[in-house]
Amino acid sequence: MRITIFGTGYVGLVTGTCLAEAGHEVMCMDVDSNKINGLMNGIVPIYEPGLEALVKQNVAEERLLFTADPAEAVGFGTLQFIAVGTPPDEDGSADLKYVLSVADTIAEHMQEYKLIIDKSTVPVGTADRVSEAIAQRLHQRDVDIPFDVCSNPEFLKEGSAVEDFSQGARIVIGCDSPRVEPLMRECYAPYNRRQEKLMFMDIRSAELTKYAANAMLATKISFMNEISNLAERLGADVENVRRGIGSDPRIGYSFIYPGCGYGGSCFPKDVQALARTATDVGYEAQLLNAVESVNYRQKASLFTKLSQALDGDLEGKTIAVWGLAFKPNTDDMREAPSRELMEAIWAAGGKVRAYDPEAMQECRRLYGERDDLALAKRRDDTLEGADALVICTEWKAFRTVDFRRLREQLTTPAIIDGRNLFNPESVRAAGLLYFAVGRADSLRIPLSGGDSASAPLSRIGQDGPSVA
């Protein structure tokens, strides 16, 4: 089957490469000709495990083609995937200018039937707008060429996108024409052999499914973060609570890890966009708004804890930061908790010495050269003489630490761990202060309960380390 993909960003490139790997002939189009030239030579502009090798292999086998020429792209495939960006507008709604401009390009050049597939995450009703845009342009051209528009949202996770593409739980397709189903079945046949994964439904339900999935996952995370804040104030350990509730199959273990807030290109944007859509149709999405505000507060909690550990004085202090990406196995720093943290440290007069296995180049791109940002070559190069350590991302390489050595290297022996990587007892046994998420002694406030319940920090002070 011949397939065209518009947009060689994260979604477009993974989709195009995986469909080529499955045996289709795929042409990816992008308006950025530098990017296209790089891709033709196997240069992949994003870090995604397994992707570069697949691009190179499929380019070599001439199943994966790249072009910056819109007419060539439209002429190539019967299937035309739209996988361009939908950045948030100032009011949180998704900006459709790129999607609609691709629709216009397709209509401008098409000479025969095309199936246009919305792959980008787009607000409910977008397929109708794409249809209108195409019909309008065909009318202007004074031609009568048949076409269909369908919705086929992606559910890829960064860091495991290639695997997710071939092993995803479902392939959702929203359509309103009998011509669509056989074409989409042929497209996804390689992934639909063992069990029926294709779910056909009406277009608006498919569009809403994507938002509902991300909003549900974001809700689980914000819910757990809320429980972690309660646990800190009640003297409970959220890790025990997590195991306790995850064992109930109705709840399950996945996506209930408390942390320093969700980031990335999807959850923050999609929760906001869905809340905005709700407002547009006269409905106040109270739960979605709460999910968003809990996350905002959670991201800020890293700095609150750091500031408490340093008695509110960050002026001239150097903070070691481990992890810049919004999650492991990616170099993506969009909406990453590390950014809120670093910006708050700088605003308070502190300096950052950071390390991330993949995202340092991205960090430089975002923040440039500045006196208050040093990027260390190795994880432990961040530590010597630093005033405290903050962990923002749960990279595997951060899980094994010589706490006694770390105790000697840090001026204030404090670890602020936004991902609950360590056993608090082991950390504290080495003489370190340990501020994790939702665990005992993670916050410098009195426990509730009236009596002489001691402030966690003062307890640490009695039991173990003293702040240098």
**Which residues would be at the binding site for ligand UDX (CB under 6 A)?**
154-158, 214, 217, 221, 255-257, 259, 262-264, 266-267, 326-327
Least separation, in Å, of the C-beta of 65 and ligand UDX? 26
Q: Which of 260, 266, 363, 392 is catalytic?
A: 266
Least separation, in Å, of the C-beta of 184 and ligand UDX? 19
Residues 19, 16: Cα–Cα separation, whole Å:
5
| Cα-only R_g, the chain | 25
Taking phi over 0 as left and psi of -120 to 50 as alpha, with beta for the rest, 449 belongs to: left
Would the CA dihedral through 321, 322, 327, 329 be positive or negative? positive
CA 116 to chain centre: 26
Fill in the DSSP letter of residue 261.
Answer: -
Closest listed residue to residue 320, CA positions, set 392, 264, 261, 370: 392
Q: What do you get for the CA distance between the two ends of the chain, in Å?
A: 67
DSSP code per residue over 328-381:
TT----TT-HHHHHHHHHHHTT-EEEEE-SS-HHHHHHHH-S-TTEEE-SSGGG
Q: Which residues of 337-374 are buried (b: 16+ CB within 10 A; e: fewer)?
A: bbbbbbebbbebebbbbbbbbbbbebbeeebeeeebbe
Closest listed residue to residue 332, CA positions, set 46, 1, 7: 46
Express the helix, strand and coil content of the chain in percent, nearest 5 each.
Answer: 45, 15, 40
Least separation, in Å, of the C-beta of 152 and ligand UDX? 13
Least separation, in Å, of the C-beta of 261 and ligand UDX? 7
Determine whether 187 is an active site residue.
Answer: no
Phi then psi for 354, rounded to 5 degrees? -120, 160
CA 127 to chain centre: 24
Whose Cβ is closer to ligand UDX: residue 439's or residue 444's?
A: 439
Least separation, in Å, of the C-beta of 11 and ligand UDX? 8
Whose Cβ is closer to ligand UDX: residue 10's or residue 66's?
A: 10
Q: Are 327 and 264 in contact (CB under 8 A)?
A: yes
The residue at minimum Cβ distance from ligand UDX is 266
Catalytic residues: 266
